[in-house]
């Protein structure tokens, strides 16, 4: 059995990759990194280092044209600033809508594209790192359990029952993801989460705040923050 893992170079997807390598062996795991017009290349560089660390095959896919009409603040062509605030704080002003860093239907698009690649490469399962903190308050609705259940069923049916989708952290907090990753000795020092593309993580964007807290709750320093 071969597995395809969506790999962004961040904490959650790298932990997913660690789990897949543990379960299937590095020769049966393919990391897939998607270019979608991010403001910086740090996460792609991180995903490359992570795949090299594990010794898995690494493939790239450019989906940038799909997002050319979006004004999501994560995208390079957007004139919106990335909020320097926790997700909870951001959600207070959104009236139940996703946060400004929500890339329109990103996981839906990524998983559909991944399904096609997975079938071509004879994989039976796709892993992605959605977790419960991301879908809390509808910040990222395509990270929710309901979304996961629906897309898993769609991909299973649409692939002729050949391919399923695993989101092992969909009911977990980010702190629980990090706990699992620390047990598996996931190379967090190679990962990148910050939405900004600076030399060091900014420490104040939504994902930096979440990441810092997840490590703090596990009683360890974030190894990437030390660099």
- To the nearest whole angstrom, how small is the minimum distance from the Cβ of residue 14 to Zn ion? 17
- To the nearest whole angstrom, how small is the minimum distance from the Cβ of residue 206 to Zn ion? 8
Strands (E), the chain: 3-6, 29-35, 57-62, 125-127, 164-166
- To the nearest whole angstrom, how small is the minimum distance from the Cβ of residue 2 to Zn ion? 34
Tokens 């792609």, residue located = 44
Closest CA to 133 of 167, 99, 95, 172: 172
Q: For the range 115-119, what are the long-range contacts, defined as Cβ-Cβ under 8 Å and sequence gap of 24 or more?
A: 115/155, 115/158, 115/159, 115/163, 115/165, 117/4, 117/32, 117/59, 117/61, 118/4, 118/163, 119/159, 119/162, 119/163
Could you list the residues that contact Zn ion (CB under 5 A)?
A: 194, 201-202, 205, 208
Toward Zn ion, which CB reaches closer, 55 or 198? 198
Toward Zn ion, which CB reaches closer, 39 or 49? 39
- To the nearest whole angstrom, how small is the minimum distance from the Cβ of residue 32 to Zn ion? 24
Tokens 């909020």, residue located = 83
Reading the block at residue 147, the tokens are 């979304």
Q: In 10 A of CB 27, how many CB atoms?
A: 11
- To the nearest whole angstrom, how small is the minimum distance from the Cβ of residue 131 to Zn ion? 18
Toward Zn ion, which CB reaches closer, 80 or 121? 80
Toward Zn ion, which CB reaches closer, 72 or 194? 194
Toward Zn ion, which CB reaches closer, 56 or 73? 73
């Amino acid at each position: 059995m071969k597995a395809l893992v969506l790999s962004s170079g961040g904490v959650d997807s790298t932990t997913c990759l660690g789990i897949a390598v543990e379960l299937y062996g590095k020769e049966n795991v393919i990391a897939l990194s998607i270019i979608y017009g991010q403001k910086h290349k740090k996460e792609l560089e991180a995903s490359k280092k992570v795949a090299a660390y594990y010794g898995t095959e690494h493939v790239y896919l450019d989906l940038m044209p799909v997002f050319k009409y979006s004004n999501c603040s994560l995208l390079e062509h957007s004139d919106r600033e990335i909020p320097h605030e926790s997700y909870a704080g951001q959600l207070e002003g959104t009236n139940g809508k996703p946060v400004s860093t929500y890339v329109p239907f990103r996981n839906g698009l990524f998983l559909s594209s991944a399904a096609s690649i997975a079938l071509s490469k004879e994989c039976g399962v796709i892993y992605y790192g959605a977790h419960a903190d991301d879908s809390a308050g509808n910040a990222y609705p395509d990270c929710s359990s309901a979304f996961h259940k629906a897309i898993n069923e769609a991909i299973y049916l649409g692939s002729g029952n050949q391919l399923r989708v695993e989101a092992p952290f969909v009911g977990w907090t980010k702190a629980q993801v990090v706990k699992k990753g620390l047990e598996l000795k996931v190379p967090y020092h190679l990962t990148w989460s910050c939405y900004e593309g600076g030399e060091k993580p900014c420490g104040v964007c939504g994902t930096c705040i979440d990441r810092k807290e997840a490590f703090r709750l596990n009683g360890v320093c974030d190894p990437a923050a030390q660099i």
